[in-house]
Amino acid sequence: MPIRIGVAVADYFKASTIVIGYDVRPSSIDIFNALSQGLASRNCKIFNIELCGTEEIYFATNFLKTDAGIMITASHNPSDYNGMKIVGSKAKPISMDSGLGEIMSLTEKAIYLDTNEFS
């Protein structure tokens, strides 16, 4: 699924550049790698700021003037959970009211031609 989310985020924002960071959860690197595959399949340049806090994604997205940013984190949830927070250009938070529903729909329809997809 992270590959398809990468495809959907790139398509939704028509992104050429995206910042990605992640927290310390063991699953974060695998999610980052899969997410990056999806983004790269859409020729999106990735700025990997690696281990960071969510506030650094907001800062980097705005400072680097990227089309979007993604923080791989489940925030306050237990360590066996993980997820993503997505921001648009100028660090605009994306919620169900501002595009997350469309990204979810694009994720369900995303086509990524790789039989080794991380799900």
Residues catalogued as catalytic: 75
> Angle at which helices 2-13 and 28-40 pack, to 10 degrees?
50
Is residue 103 within 8 Å of 8, Cβ to Cβ?
yes
Find tokens 């690197």 and name the residue.
29
Instruction: Please list, residue by residue across 30-67, b when 16 or more beta carbons sit within 10 angstroms of its beta carbon and e when fewer do.
Output: ebbebbbbbbebbebebeebeebebebbbbbbbeeebb
- At 71, the amino acid letter reads M
